[in-house]
Structure 1
Amino acid sequence: MRINHAAQICALSASDLEEFIADWLAQRCKDYYAHELWRGTGDMGRDATGYVTDRRMEGPWDNFQCKQLSSKLSELAAFVELGKIFKHSADGAFSLPRSYTYVAPFGVVRRVQHFVAHPEQFRQAFLDRWDNDIAERLVGNQIVKLTPGIEAMIQAFDFKNVDWLDAVRLVNDPACKPGLVAWFGADPGPGPRGVVPNEIQASESAYIGQLLNVYDEKKPGTCPDVAAALACPEFGPHLRLQRTRFFDSVAFDRFYRDSTPDEYLRNFKDEIYHGVVDVHAGTHAGRFTRLGQVMQQAAVLQPSGVLGKHAGPQVKQGTCHQFANEGLLPWDR
């Protein structure tokens, strides 16, 4: 049975929606220098902000206005919320945002949808309706007339960068996946298999160099380099298998780094490490034997959580090669 995550987002409280959006922005951090939540009264029309540079709000920034309502965002509310940005920008509180997004789980009324689709009509409507519809609703017990400063901000803002997100649009955004996993226990699904390049990559040179030393201990002089190891009837198939495991683990990491909260992958790797470290540290007949016993142990581990559910033996074994790369569990010690 498919879970309706959009309905779950609609059921969040107003404060939880802001937290959820913060988690969503955290996943989009590659688009931002940093992000921030503004809580309670005095937020000046900001709920969640994403900063493009280290100048933060004095440089380019994006605003996400979260409105957890029991119905669609109304036309008047849309004007008032964005109007707060123009008012406080004119007052010098912050620069105009680069973009403005209404986050309303139930969506927006048709008229708001129309204005977002017609940027210049939206701009003109602000100028035409400010004094009658917006002025008395921006600040408590105060009427904020359309001053030259506010008008300048309305004229300067790029209305093409106004958008809206409802719960369905949020759920369909790939950056929302970690939030769905963390908040609602969503299953991100199985990750892809790795692709093994023909040429040895810099990212695998450390553990492969260690494997050459392992092979040399077992049969000295047989594998002076990778080409010789791959051509060796005994060690060639073994080396190819280790590379498959390594790149399967790399693909696994990449997929779940983008689709689950950061701590999920950290916890998965921590469980793998503690599951094999004692075997690695034990007494063995030789390095090749140690390697084989660590691989056997890794294959049968059953890590907890959703990542453990989707990690096949080769992913767990390849993770051990990542530990070897990092010097945590070197194969040739």
Structure 2
Amino acid sequence: MVEFEPACKEVATGTVQSAIEFENGPKLDPIQIVATYDADQWEEFTHEWVHSLKDDYIDVERATGAGDKGIDVAGFCDNDRLAGKWDNYQCKCYQRKPLSFGDVSPEIGKILWYSFSGVYTAPRFCYYISPKGASTTLSLLVNHAPNLKAKVLEEWDKMISGKITDTQRVVLSGDFLRYVEGFDFRIFRVPSTRWTLDQYRTKTLFFNARFGGGLPPRPKPENPPEEVTEDEKTYVDCLLEAYAEHKGVEAVCVSDLPKWRPLNDHLRRSREAFFDAEGLRVFVRDKTEPGTFESLQDEIHGGVVDTSDRPHKDGFERVLAVTDKAQSLALNAHPLNKVALPTARRGVCHQLANDGKLVWKQ
């Protein structure tokens, strides 16, 4: 006897979705994202990563156009460039499958032929970088240089000879054969995709822009020193002018402020906010794309400039109105929204005054 049960059941889940996941769906693993890249996107991704290695190289350049002679991205170790020590990064984009020997063998042939011909010296390392890494067969070959050499020699006529140049088949004989037999095949590498992504995550400014994930926790900002520093002097002088206008006196010095406790406390809080914003600027400098913090300054400036330009009783009242406005701005679309807390936003206003973009006095 056939028995039936309800086809639709409640589906239990062990997780609770965040608001962002509820709206946009679960976050994809970066490996899944790069697997969708076309050749141009993958090459640009690789160039961003190699450019981040500029501390290891004196220069990094990307080959463009036809006739690249087996070079996509070159990292130069010295001023001799292609005649000296350099590393080659060849970008291979095959979305459906890992790299095979057939995919890289013509590129290996180009390195052998053009280094033999004197177009460049053999690179120190030659990396073949793919969204899906190497096939098992290719991985075994590149991790055992004698076997890779034997495979290249065995398959030269069939898989390599006619794919090096458009004008001739490159015959493996004579001096060239002896050159290949003596070549160090340990230079050829096929890094795993996870290793490439880890390098990209730790060494570039672009990881969050490509894959999300946000910024790490921000360190507590430093307290301002006792004495006003040169970096903050311009905006502190602007505040002192605003205080003088507020008190109806010709000038106010920092040493005068203890007799006006509210103003003294305001300067202390303002300096703390300034250093908070400076700490934020330094914090994001090495973690985000260039211009990210400056775009925050521009967004805050756009949000407070109308308040700044309105008539106010005096300069100090203008300061209070502008900084209140800055602290209440909705910056939900800005990537620094979660780390640019109200105190830092207030400090950005003081940075803008320090740069002459906001003026406190009437």
| Alpha-carbon distance between aligned partners in 2 of 1:302 and 1:56, rounded to the nearest angstrom | 50
Equivalent pair of 1:194/1:244 in contact (CA under 8 Å): no
Change (3 A) 1:287 1:165: farther
- Aligned mates of 2:179, 2:258 — CA distance in 1: 69
Q: Does 1:88 align with 2:114?
A: yes
Q: Deviations over 1:161-200 (max 9, x none)?
A: x65444323333325765454445x242466155224535
| Residue aligning to 2:14 | none
User: Structure 2 CA distance, aligned partners of 1:7 and 1:65?
Assistant: 21
Residues 298 and 41 of structure 1: CA distance in aligned 2, closer, same or farther (over 3 Å): same
Write the mapping of 1:1-333 to structure 2, written as runs, cut at 5 A.
Answer: 1-28=26-53, 34-39=59-64, 41-51=66-76, 57=82, 60-69=85-94, 70-75=96-101, 77-78=103-104, 80-110=106-136, 112-113=138-139, 122=145, 124=146, 128-134=150-156, 136=161, 137-139=163-165, 141-145=168-172, 148=175, 159=186, 163-172=189-198, 173-174=200-201, 178-183=205-210, 186-189=212-215, 192-199=218-225, 201-218=229-246, 224-225=253-254, 233-303=261-331, 305-307=333-335, 309-310=337-338, 311-331=340-360
- Contact kept, 8 Å, 1:298 with 1:313, in 2: the verdict is yes
Deviation, structure 1 residue 58: 5.2
Q: Which amino acid aligns with 1:297?
A: K
Deviation per CA, 1:3-37: give whole Å up to 9, x if none. 21211101111222112223334555565555443
Local SS of the residue matching 1:23 = helix
Deviation at 1:151, TM superposition (A): 6.5
Percentage of pairs with the same residue: 25
Look up the match of 2:18. Answer: none
Partner secondary structure for residue 97 of structure 2: coil
Higher alpha-carbon deviation: 126-135 or 88-97: 126-135
Change (3 A) 1:275 1:30: farther
Report the secondary structure of 2:45's partner residue: helix
| Shift in alpha-carbon separation, 1:95–1:72, aligned structure 2, 3 A | same
CA distance in 2, matches of 1:216, 1:156: 78
Distance 1:131 1:166, change over 3 A: closer
Higher helix share: 1
Contact between 2:98 and 2:133, CA under 8 Å: does it hold in 1?
yes
d(CA) in 1 for partners of 2:349 and 2:292?
Answer: 17
> Taking structure 1 as reference, are residues 47 and 279 closer, same or farther at Cα in structure 2, changes over 3 Å only?
same
Pairwise CA RMSD of aligned residues? 3.9
Distance between the aligned counterparts of 1:181 and 1:169, measured in 2?
17
Paired residue type of 2:99: L
Query: In 1, distance between residues paired with 2:283 and 2:174?
Result: 51
Q: What is the distance in 2 between the residues matched to 1:133 and 1:154?
A: 14
Greater Cα shift, 72-81 or 10-19: 72-81
Change (3 A) 1:211 1:108: same
Structure 1 pair 223–139 and aligned structure 2 pair: CA distance change class (3 A) = same
The 1-side partners of 2:277 and 2:183 are apart by: 49
Partner of 2:13: none
Question: Does structure 1 retain, via aligned residues, the 8 Å contact 2:51–2:60?
Answer: yes
Structure 1 portions without partners, runs of 5+: none
* Partner SS state of residue 194, structure 2: helix
Quote the Cα distance in structure 1 between the aligned partners of 2:33 and 2:92: 15
Matched-pair contact (CA < 8 Å) for 2:141–2:148:
no
Q: What one-letter code is carried by the residue in structure 2 that aligns with 1:281?
A: D
Asked whether the equivalents of residues 300 and 326 of structure 2 are also in contact (C-alpha less than 8 Å), the reply is yes
Cα distance in 2, alignment partners of residues 277 and 209 from structure 1 = 20
Question: Does the aligned pair in 2 maintain the 1:178–1:259 contact within 8 Å?
Answer: yes
| Amino acid aligned to 2:345 | K
- Residue 319 of structure 1 aligns to a residue whose secondary structure is helix
User: CA 1:150 to 1:206, structure 2 compared with 1: closer, same or farther past 3 Å?
Assistant: farther
User: Secondary structure in 1 aligned to 2:262?
Assistant: coil
Give the AA of the match of 1:324. A
Equivalenced residue count is 326
